[in-house]
């Protein structure tokens, strides 16, 4: 039993793919699925007519070609099991991305080779650092004119403060990008494009002095390339796995997800580099993956993943022990025992019932109404995990059904999408049926409207409200003002909406004992 658990832990890797919008996360995810054999032909996120990838399965994602929600995929490669979580890059959806980062042991940080480290990458990098997640860097879009490899590595070191150690080195860039040089073996991996990039790119491996390689790129380019490699070997620190795990260095890879150049090699490195499932810090101390009891937590909710089922799935990361279908576990938040009869293995939009799962696995649970993000299940001691990040909303609107009638599906849509965190839902001071919705960014409102229409068949109208701040009351003292707008959150805690920071300060100065919090008070 224990040795089964150890073996299964050792062969698992749970990894999130993160970056600034548009660096190619979804495209890379799709290609990792292709190269691991999980899919036969890769869909694409392109400007073209056919837009479909495994991880961007929502219709709004396919229409717009951006990810709005994180998704989970599982692949098997070389005897290893990888749980790959693709995340949205846009900052309006970063709450979802931050939650996903709670569920992984390693992150792939993508950079656009022409742009280097971008604003959103910096924020996500910091979250990984805070959580102690080691980071593998993949420099993508080498098939486009790129910054030089040295500029890119310098950029990573200066902006992020981590030592960049390339394990591969690109051969050319833009139309002249041929493949990558693998430093550990000294071997060149030269690729050829395929029609539509749907299938594996044919690869040939050669030595660096091979005459056919010299002929391929030309004598001058060859001489320059040899010089660069010499410089790399002389100037760069060696790669040390321990320093990577401690986030002192990040291994760097170069490639082009769209043309499949540099992917196979990268997949192998992912398995070698990424740590196996780690324990989780909790109120009961560190929960080790090889604990004798089963435990884990919900990091995400998603409604209507599958038109045939129309249900809500809780994405659950297993932290310790062996999970078996039909087992009963304690749900400490409610104090109840929960039986899990329908655990799923998730693959983008698809799902299969699974019978057994191990630490590191992300499984889908369908227990309607039982779980919220952050909930724990355990067959051992009760524990809670650190609070999930919650962002203070800055955009507010009053919500109406366009039809004028408050139907059952209107209420259901609000409840379920609110639970998912697509937007935050508040009721007004009179608990009237027209709720207030709150969001961090504009795109969230658009996604909410689109999903209300496509998933709940409800056209909704939003009347924007002139507020930019919301605060929870941290005590009994309330500001005495007839002009302020009060509301209640999903747990019936009172909040106040403000037009700006100045207004917050104004009331703080005039009301003795007033406590205003930008996060819900901890119960």
The Cα–Cα gap between 32 and 304 comes to: 26
Q: Which residues from 398-417 bind ligand GTP, rule CB under 6 A?
A: none
The Cα–Cα gap between 436 and 181 comes to: 55
Compute how many residues bind ligand GTP; rule: CB under 6 A.
23
Instruction: Among 13, 25, 330, 469, indicate the residue that binds ligand GTP (CB under 6 A).
Output: 25
Instruction: Among 6, 11, 46, 172, indicate the residue that binds ligand GTP (CB under 6 A).
Output: 46
Which of 364, 359, 385, 365 is closest to 374 using CA atoms?
Answer: 385
Can residue 25 be called a binding residue for Mg ion (CB under 5 A)? yes
Q: 485-488 and 494-498 as β-strands: parallel, antiparallel, unpaired?
A: antiparallel
Indicate which of ligand GTP, Mg ion, none lies near residue 143 (CB less than 5 to 8 Å, by partner kind). Answer: ligand GTP
Instruction: State the binding string over 42-71 for Mg ion (x if CB under 5 A, else -).
Output: -------------------------x----
Query: How many angstroms separate the Cα of 214 from the Cα of each of 156, 176, 261?
Result: 31, 14, 19
Q: Which is nearer to ligand GTP, 135 or 436 (CB)?
A: 135
Which residues neighbour 71 within 8 Å (Cβ) at sequence distance 6 or greater?
54, 55, 56, 57, 85, 86, 346, 348
Q: How far is the CB of 120 from ligand GTP (least distance, A)?
A: 8
234 Cα distance to chain centroid? 36
Can residue 43 be called a binding residue for ligand GTP (CB under 6 A)? no
Select from 21-29, 146-154, 180-188, 344-352 the region that touches ligand GTP (CB under 6 A): 21-29
Can residue 137 be called a binding residue for Mg ion (CB under 5 A)? no
Instruction: Among 100, 256, 444, 449, indicate the residue that binds ligand GTP (CB under 6 A).
Output: 256
Query: How many distinct helices (H) and strands (E) make up the chain?
Result: 13, 31
Select from 60-68, 153-161, 240-248, 302-310 the region that touches ligand GTP (CB under 6 A): 60-68
Indicate which of Mg ion, ligand GTP, none lies near residue 258 (CB less than 5 to 8 Å, by partner kind). Answer: ligand GTP
The Cα–Cα gap between 244 and 242 comes to: 5
Indicate which of Mg ion, ligand GTP, none lies near residue 508 (CB less than 5 to 8 Å, by partner kind). Answer: none
Contact between 250 and 117 under an 8 Å Cβ cutoff? The reply is no
For 61-66, the CB contacts below 8 A with 24+ separation are 66/21, 66/22, 66/90
Can residue 66 be called a binding residue for ligand GTP (CB under 6 A)? yes
141 Cα distance to chain centroid? 20
Q: Which residues from 87-116 bind ligand GTP, rule CB under 6 A?
A: 88-90
Instruction: Among 32, 42, 45, 111, indicate the residue that binds ligand GTP (CB under 6 A).
Output: 45
Can residue 302 be called a binding residue for ligand GTP (CB under 6 A)? no
Q: Which is nearer to Mg ion, 71 or 320 (CB)?
A: 71
215 Cα distance to chain centroid? 43
């Amino acid at each position: 039993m224990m040795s089964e658990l150890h073996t299964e832990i050792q062969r698992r890797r749970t990894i999130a793919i993160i970056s600034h919008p548009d660096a190619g996360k979804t495209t890379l995810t799709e290609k990792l699925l292709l190269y691991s054999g999980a899919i036969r032909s890769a869909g694409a996120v392109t400007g073209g007519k056919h837009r479909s990838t495994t991880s961007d399965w929502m219709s709004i994602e396919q229409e717009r070609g951006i990810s709005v929600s994180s998704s989970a995929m599982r692949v098997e490669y070389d005897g290893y099991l990888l749980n790959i979580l693709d995340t949205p890059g846009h900052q309006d959806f970063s709450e979802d991305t931050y939650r996903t980062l709670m569920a992984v042991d390693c992150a792939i940080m993508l950079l656009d080779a022409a742009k280097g480290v971008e604003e959103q990458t910096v924020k996500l990098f910091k979250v990984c650092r805070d959580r102690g997640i080691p980071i593998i860097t993949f420099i993508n879009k080498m098939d486009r004119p790129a910054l030089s490899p040295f500029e890119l590595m310098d950029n990573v070191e200066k902006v992020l403060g981590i030592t960049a150690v390339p394990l591969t080195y690109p051969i050319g860039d833009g139309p002249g990008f041929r493949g990558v040089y693998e430093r550990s073996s000294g071997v060149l991996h030269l690729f050829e494009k395929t029609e539509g990039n749907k299938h594996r790119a044919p690869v040939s491996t050669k030595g660096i002095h091979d005459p056919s390689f010299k002929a391929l790129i030309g004598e001058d380019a060859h001489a320059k390339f040899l010089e660069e490699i010499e410089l790399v070997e002389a100037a760069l620190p060696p790669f040390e796995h321990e320093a990577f795990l401690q986030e002192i260095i990040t291994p760097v890879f170069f490639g082009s997800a769209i043309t499949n150049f540099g992917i196979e090699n990268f997949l192998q490195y992912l398995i070698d580099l990424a740590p196996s499932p780690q324990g989780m810090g909790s109120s009961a101390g560190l929960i080790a993956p090889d604990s004798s009891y089963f435990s884990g937590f919900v990091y995400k909710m998603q409604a209507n993943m599958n038109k045939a089922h129309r249900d809500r799935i809780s994405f659950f990361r297993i932290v310790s022990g062996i999970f078996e279908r039909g087992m009963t576990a304690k749900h400490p938040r409610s104090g109840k025992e929960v039986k899990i009869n329908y655990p799923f293995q998730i693959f983008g939009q698809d799902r299969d019932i699974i019978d057994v799962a191990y630490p590191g696995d992300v499984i889908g649970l369908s227990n309607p109404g039982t779980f919220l993000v952050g909930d724990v299940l355990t067959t051992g001691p009760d524990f809670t995990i650190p609070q999930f990040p919650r962002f203070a909303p800055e955009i507010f609107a009053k919500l109406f059904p366009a039809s004028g009638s408050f139907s059952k599906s209107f209420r259901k849509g609000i409840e379920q999408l609110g639970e998912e965190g697509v937007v935050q839902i508040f009721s007004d001071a009179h608990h009237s049926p027209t709720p207030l919705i709150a969001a961090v960014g504009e795109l969230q409102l658009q996604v909410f409207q689109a999903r209300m229409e496509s998933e709940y068949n409800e056209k909704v109208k939003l009347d924007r409200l002139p507020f930019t701040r919301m605060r929870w009351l941290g005590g009994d003292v309330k500001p005495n003002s007839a002009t302020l707008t009060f509301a209640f959150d999903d747990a019936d805690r009172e909040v106040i909406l403000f037009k700006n920071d100045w207004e917050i300060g104004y009331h703080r100065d005039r009301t003795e004992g007033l406590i205003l919090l930008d996060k819900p008070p901890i119960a």
